[in-house]
Homo-oligomer: A and B are copies of this chain.
Amino acid sequence: MSNPHQIILLAHGSSDKRWCETFEKLAEPTLRSIENSAIAYMELAEPSMETIVAEAKEQGTEQFTVVPLFLAAGRHLRKDVPAMIEEIVKQHGVKMRLADPIGFNPHLGDAIRDVVQEELAKSID
């Protein structure tokens, strides 16, 4: 049997394709190493969280963890996304957990330091 748990990487979304491409690249290492993972957009781009949930539910998945690809939590993560999740849970009878935005995890601060060290090396060349 396949893993009944699905990860949804939730990005804001934009009508600008370059914006979405950036998030698709950011998601690549996760999608490559975690079997049941997908990217979804809050607005202005597809797929939505609901699309992902509906498809996965058809395959028998009933538990979802939403990991927001946001550095910090503003109105979207405090209000809009929980409301969307509540609605999807009601519609599809699944379990969904909203994780903290990625920026709350110390791995991000460490990655930023590594990026800055590379930028500093470029600047001094």
Chain A interfacial positions (CB closer than 8 Å to B): 5, 7, 9, 14, 16, 18-19, 22-23, 25-30, 33-34, 37, 63, 65, 67, 69-74, 97, 99, 102-120, 122-124
Residue of B nearest to A70 (CB): B71
Number of copies of this chain that the complex holds: 2
Q: Chain B residues near A67 (CB, 8 Å)?
A: 112, 115-116, 119
The answer, among B102, B111, B113, B123, for a CB contact under 8 Å with A33, is B113
B112/A69 in contact, CB under 8 A: yes
B71/A71 in contact, CB under 8 A: yes
User: In whole angstroms, what is the CA distance A18 to B72 when docked?
Assistant: 9
B30/A112 in contact, CB under 8 A: yes
